[in-house]
Chain A
Amino acid sequence: MFNYIVRKLLGMIPMLLVITFLIFVGIEMMPGDVIDFLIPMDELARMTPDEVNQVREALGLNQPMLFRYFSWLWGIVRGDLGYSMQNSVAVSKLLLDRLPATLELSIAALLISTFLGSFLGVISAIRKGKIADNVLSMAGMIGVAIPQFLFGLVCILVFGIYLKWLPVGGRFLPGKEAFFERLEYLIMPAMVLGISMTAGVMRYSRASMLDSMNRDYVKTARSKGLSEWKVNLFHGLRVAYTPVMVLIGFRLPMLIGGSLVIEQIFQWPGVGILFTDAIRSQNTPIIMSVGLFMVLIVLVSSLLVDVLTAVLDPRVKLS
């Protein structure tokens, strides 16, 4: 197991190199010149080509692309993420400011969708064809169909503006930053994001549970005299949740990318806005860092899924 993990982690290095290089090339190929985003229009109009060139030189933009990629890479190896091109703030500082907010929101949403989704899915499977199942299936369909932003806006209208139960946006009031003081800010975006991710988990766990409950070992369990809840839990669910865990593992990358829309609607100061702004203005160091982080999460989640499957299912051997 340990060997396997080490081997996999080492195997990630070439992949990270290739993918980050591709992202770098991608940024390079985006239309427009970085200078246009860095210097305000009117100022740019007044500058001579020489002056513009000086700015380029200072930012290192005149170096060949390969050189710039490897100097970025060398920075990463030393733990230096570089500086935002726009205002020369360290990218590490920007991320440290933003990342906790995003992680807080998406972990909360992931937990909500995981527990709610698998719980409802299992209930739905056990009560197949009964009222509970039909209601849940219907709700699941609606859940998949409604766009996140619409759901978010409706919730803001109802719970924020009309009922005034929860704040309409932001993450905390200045000076009141303890977890419990900002909890009320987290509830609505986390619920909206969580519930919108629930339907998928629910449908998947329902299908998985139904499949498991039709297997012979469930009948064997029943023939031993076990009570229905033991049969469902220890035999039906125990086998059914391995694939559900795999699904959730593959959803981990959503921790970074999945909350974009919600962050915008609720003015949640996360990575989402930073990242979209960075892409719009071709702010290479920020794009590269966030990109690297996303790729890392994807690779680590798939490793996590492998390990988890091996732990949950004795038939699976890591090799």
Chain B
Amino acid sequence: MINDIVVKVRDLHVYFYTNQRCNKVLNGVSFDIKKGKTLCVVGESGCGKSVTANTILQLLPELSRIEKGSIEYQKDDQLIRIDQLQKNGKQMRKLRGEDIAIIFQDPMTALNPVYTVGHQIREMIFEHIPNLNKKQAFERSVKSLAEMGISAPEQRDREYPHQFSGGMRQRAMIAMAMSCAPKVLIADEPTTALDVTISAQIFDLINELKTQHETAIMLITHNMGVVAEMADEVAVMYMGNIVEYGKVEDVLTQARHPYTRALLRSIPVLGKGKDQVLEPVRGMTPDPFNRPKGCQFCPRCDFATELCENKMPPETFIDENHYVRCFHHEEVIKHAK
């Protein structure tokens, strides 16, 4: 069981030092990414989802750093402390693409406009399998395009990104990410820039990777509907913390954090009919440079007390796999019933 954990993140703190000010973007984030499972990270924009994803690959911009915490990667029998590797050093670079691959939100800008799609895939292949010859590499890039459902892959391989549609580009990005058969795929809001039907196709593709290749998947989204559809496990993030974490069925049906509940109320539920009341989450996200002292959600919370204002609630385990950062989680769940 424990061997199924591929990436283990514990108490991760990441701070940004922009404009002489410190932005404490992540304040103690812990989660696991497991083989053949999808972890969905959900939360409003600006809560630190992308930063979490980029930190795993040490792709953070300058002026930011891991202050505290650990990121462990289980490579076969070997345990690698990613947080201790040099940022763009040889070991870190070897993990990128070969072990952990990432795709980004906007496939329009994530591909380089001046190279053919095939060239960009082969760049990755050559980096990690340098002894291939040109023909083998070409076959491999064509194969990975074909596997992602791109028709006429040999011809597509020679085309430039601007000749692809948005959905096709995201497929090409996934083809690139999967070309070296990584153990982990991180997808940072992969369908936000795409329309609904195309999104559904991309999600199907990601599910296929999970079942067929047992890829461990970390899927970032701001949409609870996607969580319900895709997740095995969920991490709900708010202002640099995971406020609730657990198996998808637990979190969706037994949500114990007021923020999780608020998020759930803000999306339509299938089968509940047309006249369900949708409430957007009340209030505004605080200024990241001027964060509340205690629980970050406190100013927007119905259950807030003086304790919440002054102290950040610790991770409280409901059971082995389910934790919540709320002093009043008992009350929250009682209130809901």
Contact = CB atoms under 8 A, between A and B. Distances in A.
A217 B123 contact: no
B87 to A, nearest CB: 9
The residue in A215, A220, A222, A235 that gathers the most chain B C-beta atoms within 10 A of its C-beta is A220
Contacts of B173: 220
Given A219-B59, A222-B96, A223-B59, A228 B114 contact: no
A78 interface: no
A224 B93 CA distance: 8
Interface of B: 57, 59, 88, 93-98, 101-102, 104, 106, 109-115, 120, 123-124, 127-128, 160, 162, 173, 176
Contact of B101 (A222, A223, A312): A223
B112 A220 contact: yes
Contact of A224 (B109, B113, B124): B124
A228 B62 CA distance: 14
Nearest to B173: A220
Contacts, number: 70
A302 B173 CA distance: 37
B97 A315 contact: no
A225 B114 contact: no
A227 B126 CA distance: 12
Interface in A199-222: 215-217, 219-222
Given A216-B109, A220-B111, A227-B93, 5 more contacts: A217-B109, A219-B110, A225-B94, A225-B98, A226-B93
B65 to A, nearest CB: 16
Contacts of A217: 109-113
Contacts of A220: 104, 110-112, 120, 173
Top-7 shortest CB links A-B: A225-B96, A217-B112, A216-B109, A224-B124, A225-B97, A225-B93, A314-B160
A157 to B, nearest CB: 43
A225 B111 contact: no
A314 to B, nearest CB: 5
Contacts of A224: 96-97, 123-124, 127, 176
Interface string A53-64: 000000000000
A163 B101 CA distance: 60
The residue in B97, B123, B162, B176 that gathers the most chain A C-beta atoms within 10 A of its C-beta is B123
11 contacts: A215-B109, A220-B120, A222-B96, A224-B97, A224-B123, A225-B94, A228-B88, A234-B123, A238-B112, A239-B112, A314-B114
Interface in A227-252: 227-228, 234-235, 238-239, 242
A198 B95 CA distance: 41
A204 B137 CA distance: 37
A242 B128 CA distance: 29
B59 A239 contact: no
Contacts of B162: 314-315
B128 A235 contact: no
Name the interface size band of chain A: 20 to 34
B106 A216 contact: yes
A30 to B, nearest CB: 49
A313 interface: yes
B154 to A, nearest CB: 18
Contacts of B109: 215-217
Given A217-B111, A238-B114, A239-B114, A223 B127 contact: no
A315 B162 CA distance: 7
Contacts of A227: 88, 93
Nearest to B98: A225
Contacts of A238: 112, 114-115
B160 A225 contact: no
The residue in B111, B112, B115, B128 that gathers the most chain A C-beta atoms within 10 A of its C-beta is B112
Interface in A260-319: 312-315
A226 B176 CA distance: 14
Given A228-B88, A314-B160, A223 B57 contact: yes
Contacts of A215: 109
A210 to B, nearest CB: 12
Contacts of B124: 224-225
Contacts of B59: 219, 222-223
Given A216-B106, A226-B127, A228-B88, A221 B114 contact: no
Contacts of A221: 112, 123
A317 to B, nearest CB: 11
Nearest to B128: A225
Contacts of B94: 225
B215 to A, nearest CB: 16
Contacts of A312: 114
Contacts of A225: 93-98, 124, 127-128
A217 B176 CA distance: 13
Nearest to B96: A225
B113 A226 contact: no
Contacts of B106: 216
A235 B161 CA distance: 14
Contacts of B101: 223
Nearest to A242: B114
Contacts of B160: 314-315
A225 B95 CA distance: 7
Contacts of A235: 112
A239 B113 contact: yes
A41 to B, nearest CB: 65
Contacts of B102: 223
Given A235-B112, A238-B114, A239-B113, A219 B97 contact: no
Nearest to B123: A224
The residue in A235, A242, A312 that gathers the most chain B C-beta atoms within 10 A of its C-beta is A235
Contacts of B115: 238
A314 B116 CA distance: 9
Contacts of B93: 225-227
B123 A226 contact: yes
